Amino acid sequence: MSAIGTLFIMSAPSGAGKSSLINALLDSGMENAAVSVSHTTRAPRPGEVNGQHYHFVGQDEFKALIEQGAFFEWAEVFGNYYGTSKQAIEDQLAQGIDVFLDIDWQGALQVKKIMPDAQGIFILPPSREELERRLVGRGQDSAEVIAGRMAEAVSEMSHYNEYDYILVNDDFDTSLAQLSAIVTARRQRKASQIAAHSDMLNDLLAG
Amino acid sequence: MSAIGTLFIMSAPSGAGKSSLINALLDSGMENAAVSVSHTTRAPRPGEVNGQHYHFVGQDEFKALIEQGAFFEWAEVFGNYYGTSKQAIEDQLAQGIDVFLDIDWQGALQVKKIMPDAQGIFILPPSREELERRLVGRGQDSAEVIAGRMAEAVSEMSHYNEYDYILVNDDFDTSLAQLSAIVTARRQRKASQIAAHSDMLNDLLAG
C-alpha cells in the first residue's frame, strides 16, 4: 500500500458542529484517517496526553521550530504559541493517512498556500436561528456575550467561499455521511488509485 | 432548489461491471440522478421505449442534428448512427440532476473537451485473471474470440489515466459505495452548495 493521503482543512464558526463531525468520522471505523496534532507551549490540562492532544514543547523549542520553518502556520494566543508542523503532517500523508486539520480561515489560507492539494471543508449551521440557538448554549451568558459570539461566527462564515466543499450541518447523520463521502471519493481519485494499485495496473495492461 | 448537476462520464472495458454499477446506483434511491439517453437511427428492439432507452430518430433527422452541432459526440456503427445530445444533458444538469454518460474513451475525450467540468470515472476489474474469467462468461466462445475481447479490454483500459476517478471493481458493494460517495461528495462542492443554498447563505451572513 503506497496510497497518498489527503490533508483536509476543516473550518467552521462555533456552533456548527465541526469537532463532533470529525470525531464521529474517526470513531466510525474509517481506516487511515487521523486528526493533525498541533504543537503548543501551553501547559497540558488534566487528561491531555503529549503527542495525542498536542505536542507540548517549551518556548525555546517552539521558537527554534519557527526559525527552521517547521510550521505550516503558527500563532500566539494569550502568550502561548500554537503551530502545525509540516513534517508531522507530511509523514502521515506519505503513509497514506488522510489528515484532518481543525483550523480557522486565516490558518487555512496559509496551509493552502503551502499545500495547494489540501482540500478545504467549511461547515455551516443550517440557519441563523439555529446558530443563535446553539450559541446561546447553556443559557448562562448575557445577550451582549451572545451577540459577540454571533458577530464572530458571521465573520468566520464570511470566508466559506475560500473552501472546496461546504457542509450544511442540519441533520448530523446526513452531514457525517457527506463528510465520509468526501473522504471516500478523494481516495478514488486517479492519483491516489495509481499510487495504491500500481502493480495491479501493470498486470492489467500487460500486452 | 437551483443546484447544478454534474455530468459523470463512465467508461470501462467489457467485464468491469460498469452497467451493473450505474443501474444499482440509480436503483438505490439516490435522488436527482439519471442516465443520459442517446439518439440512434437503429430500430427499437422489443421492449425498448423511445425517450427512455434511446431517442429513436430517422437518418435524415439525425443528420440534421449533426449539422446543427446538436451532439456532444456521435458515431456510425454498422450503418446506424448513435449520438449524445448536448441539449438533453444540459437541460438535466440545469435542473440539478446528475447525469451518467456510458461511453468509451474516444467519446469521453470529445465530451470532456466541450464540458471540462464533467467528471470522468473509469472502472477497472481487480485483476487480469478476474477479467479473463468474466470475459469467458458463459463459456460458449472460442479461445480466439476471448483473446480478441481481452485485447479490446486492454486497449480500452490503457486510457484509464484520462479520467478523474478510478474504481477497482473487486467487491461490488464496495464499488457501489465508492461510486455513490463520488456523487455525494460532488454535491457538497462549493459551486453546487452556493447554487442550492443561496438564500440560506444570505440569511446566515446578514450583518
CATH of the domain at A74: 3.30.63.10
Point out the domain boundary residue: A96, A126, A149: A96
Of A5, A43, A9, A4, which is closest to residue A123 (Cα–Cα)?
A9
Q: Tell me: the pLDDT tens digits for A95-140?
A: 899 999 998 999 899 899 999 999 999 999 999 999 988 888 767 8
> What is the ipTM for the molecules in this complex?
0.88
**What distance in Å separates residue B171's CA from the closest CA in chain A?**
14
- Quote the pLDDT of residue B37: 87
Q: Which domain holds residue A131?
A: 6-32+102-207
Asked whether residue A154 falls in the same domain as residue A183, the answer is yes
Asked whether residue B81 falls in the same domain as residue B116, the answer is no
On average, the pLDDT of chain B sits at 92
Asked whether residue B106 falls in the same domain as residue B184, the answer is yes
**Does the beta-carbon distance from A204 to B157 stay under 8 Å?**
yes
Mean pLDDT score, B156-164: 96
Count up the domains in chain A and report the number.
Answer: 2
In-domain check, residue B1: no
Asked whether residue A52 falls in the same domain as residue A24, the answer is no
In-domain check, residue A122: yes
The one-letter amino acid at B50: N
Asked whether residue A62 falls in the same domain as residue A110, the answer is no
CB pairs under 8 A between A and B: 115
**Residue numbers in chain A where pLDDT is lower than 50:** 1
- Quote the pLDDT of residue B207: 62
On average, the pLDDT of chain A sits at 92
Asked whether residue A87 falls in the same domain as residue A108, the answer is no
- Quote the pLDDT of residue B101: 94
> Helical H runs in chain B?
18-27, 59-67, 86-94, 105-114, 128-136, 143-157, 172-187, 190-196, 198-205
CA A53 to chain centre: 14
Asked whether residue B113 falls in the same domain as residue B205, the answer is yes
Point out the domain boundary residue: A46, A75, A96: A96
Residue B191 maps to which CATH number? 3.40.50.300
**What distance in Å separates residue B31's CA from the closest CA in chain A?**
14
Q: Is A122 left (phi over 0), alpha (psi -120 to 50) or beta?
A: beta
Asked whether residue B83 falls in the same domain as residue B178, the answer is no
Q: Tell me: the pLDDT tens digits for B170-193?
A: 999 999 999 999 999 999 999 999
Point out the domain boundary residue: A96, A112, A131: A96
Asked whether residue B126 falls in the same domain as residue B170, the answer is yes
Binned at pLDDT 50, 70 and 90, residue B2 comes out as low
- Rounded to whole angstroms, the Cα distance separating A82 from A104 reads 13
- Rounded to whole angstroms, the Cα distance separating A172 from A1 reads 32
Chain A: which residues have CB within 8 Å of chain B?
A: 121, 124-128, 131, 154, 157-158, 160-161, 163-168, 177-178, 180-182, 184-190, 193-194, 197, 200-201, 203-207
Asked whether residue A65 falls in the same domain as residue A154, the answer is no
CB-CB: which of A158, A193, A200 is closest to B205? A158
Asked whether residue A158 falls in the same domain as residue A120, the answer is yes
Find out whether B206 is annotated in a ligand binding site: no
In-domain check, residue A1: no
- Quote the pLDDT of residue B3: 63
In-domain check, residue A155: yes
Q: Tell me: the pLDDT tens digits for B128-152?
A: 999 998 888 767 888 898 899 999 9
SS3 for chain A is: CCCCCCEEEEECCCCCCHHHHHHHHHHCCCCCEEECCEEECCCCCCCCCECCCEEECCHHHHHHHHHCCCEEEEEEECCEEEEEEHHHHHHHHHCCCEEEEECCHHHHHHHHHHCCCCEEEEEECCCHHHHHHHHHCCCCCCHHHHHHHHHHHHHHHCCHHHCCEEEECCCHHHHHHHHHHHHHHHHCEHHHHHHHCHHHHHHHHCC
CA angle B170, B173, B174 (to 5 degrees): 60
C-alpha cell at A190: 486517479
Q: Residue B1: is its pLDDT beyond 50?
A: no
CB-CB: which of B131, B158, B163 is closest to A190? B163
Asked whether residue B113 falls in the same domain as residue B187, the answer is yes
